Copies of this chain bind each other. A is one copy, B any other.
Amino acid sequence: MANAARVVRSRSDSPSLARKGVREANLSPVLSLVEREKERVLSALRQLIAIPSISTKPENRKEVERCAEWLATHLSDIGMTNSRIVRTAGHPVVTGEWRDDQRKPELLVYGHYDVQPPEPLELWSTPPFEATIRDNRIYGRGTTDDKGQFFIHLKAIEAYLRGAGTLPVHVKVILEGEEEIGSPHLGKFLAENKEWLRSDVAVISDTPFFAPGVPSICYGLRGNVYMEVEVVGPHQDLHSGSHGGAVHNPIQVLAEIIAQLHDHDGRITIPGFYDDVRPLSTRERKSFRQLPWSDARYARELGVRKLYGERGFTTLERLWARPTLDCHGIWGGFTSPGSKTVIPSKAVAKISMRIVPDQRPEHIAKLFTTHAQKLCPQTARVSVKCLHTGEAALVPLQSPGVEAAAVAMTKSFGKKPVYQREGGSIPIITSLKRMLGIDTVLLGFGLPDENAHAPNEFLDLGNFFGGILAAIHFYDELSRRIERKGE
C-alpha cells in the first residue's frame, strides 16, 4: 500500500478543495476538546508515569508487563481497534490501529513505554514514579523519554475520534518496551509484522526542541555501540599490604585502558574508528552555526568549568555529527564507606560509542574489542562484550512528512521550526527505512535540559499540550500531501 502512494509535493497540489474545506472545518471541535480535557489527560498520564517499566532491570519485568497491559486497555479506550500485546522474547510490543473504508494516508506512530532506571534516587526532588507538576512542568521518570511524548499522539487520536468521529489518516501505533536496552527484539517484530506495518510515513516524538520556545524538526540521530570491559588480575582479592608491589592492580589496568581511549585532542584512538565517518558538508556546518547557541551558557547549564571534546569541531558538530565515546559506569573493589585495603581481583567498566553515518555498529564493536585487548598489558586479562548496537540515521528534509511536520509545528507554536540533528539514538528509524522503506519524521516536544536518563526528568506542559495540537495539525497536513491510490 505504501508503495502505491503518490506523493503530493505541495499544498497547491492537494487532492480537492472540497475535501480540504471539510477537514479544516472539522478541526476546531478537535482542537477545542484538547483545551477542555487538560485535567483528564494529565490524570491519565500520571497513571502511566506511575508504572516503573524499567526494561533493563530483571526485577521490574512484571511492571513492564503491567505497563503494556495498561496501554493496550488505553488504546481501546481512546477508540482504536485491534489493540494487542504482542509477545517477543523480551518485553512485549503494544499495538493499536484505526482505519475506516476511505482512501487515506497510512501513518505509523512509534513510541517506547520502557524507561531508564531512576537511580540515583536521592537526587530526585520528587519521587520518580509519582508524576508531579510544578512550574508548568510535569516531573517523573519517562515524562519526556518517552511516555509523555508518545502520549501526545494517543491524545491527538482521541481528540479526533471524540471531536470529529474520524481521523484524516489511517493510524497504526506501536509502543515498544525495550528501547532503553537497545531494542533487541524489535527487528524480529518488524520482520514478522511487515505487511501490517506498511505505511507512507512514520512519526516519532522522542526528541527535544532546539531550545525553549524554538520548535525543531530533527533529521539526524547518532547510533550507539555499548560495550562492557572487565579486567581480571589475581584470581581473588588480595591484601594490599602483603601483595602491593607485586601485581598490576586491575583498577589501575582498567584506568590505563580507559585513559588511552582518547588522545590529547579528544579524538578516539581506536585504529580505523573514523574511517567510515561521513564528513560534514560545508552547507550543514554553516546551518549549524546559524542556530542560536552559546558554549558559555551550555557549560553553565551543565555545571562544568569548561567543555571538552574533539578538537577542530564546534560543540553542535561534536554532539550531532561526530562519533564520541563515554564511560557510563565503573566499579571494582571496596566501594562502601571506610577504608578496606584490598587489591581487587577485577574491575569493570561500561563504555559506549555514539556513532554517525556511515559507521557500521558491528564493525565498530569489533574494532573496540581488538583495541581494548591490545591495550591490556600482559600483567592482566581483559574480556570485552558488546551489550547492544544501533545504527545512526539521517532523514531527507524534502519529503511530505517533514513538510507536514513543519507546517504543523508553525500552526501550533506560532513560529517556523529549525532543522537540527540530535546526539542520541532511536534504532528503529534505520530499521523502518531498511526493512519497510519508510521515512520517519522526528516531531519532538521535549526540551534540551529535560533530564532524560537523569534525576528530575520532566516535560514542559506548554510543549505537551502544544504537541497534541501539533500532532492534530500534522495528521491533517499529511492527508493534504499524500494521496492514496488503488483502494
- Give me the interface of A with B, judged by CB distance under 8 Å: 56-58, 116-117, 119-120, 123, 180-182, 208, 221-222, 224, 226, 233-249, 251-252, 254-256, 258-262, 298, 302-310, 315, 318-319, 322, 324-344, 347-350, 352, 354, 377-381, 387-388, 422-425, 448, 451-456
Contacts and interface: CB of A to CB of B under 8 A. Distances in A.
A341 B328 CA distance: 6
Contacts of A322: 245
A350 B354 contact: no
Contact of A333 (B245, B330, B339, B344): B330
Contacts of A309: 245-246
A190 to B, nearest CB: 21
A415 to B, nearest CB: 23
Contact of A259 (B224, B256, B424, B456): B256
B329 A344 contact: yes
Copies in the complex: 2
Nearest to A228: B339
Given A242-B422, A331-B335, A352-B339, A307 B57 contact: no
A327 B244 CA distance: 10
6 contacts: A116-B342, A236-B455, A237-B454, A247-B307, A251-B330, A338-B387
A354 B341 CA distance: 10
A329 B318 contact: no
Given A242-B423, A330-B332, A333-B328, A340 B57 contact: no
A329 B340 contact: yes
Contact of A241 (B224, B335, B341): B224
A92 B292 CA distance: 64
A342 B242 contact: no
Contact of A342 (B344, B378, B425, B453): B453
A472 B248 CA distance: 41
Nearest to A259: B259
A448 B388 CA distance: 43
Given A328-B341, A343-B326, A242 B424 contact: yes
A56 B342 CA distance: 14
A308 B424 contact: no
Nearest to A308: B248
Nearest to A116: B340
A305 B247 CA distance: 10
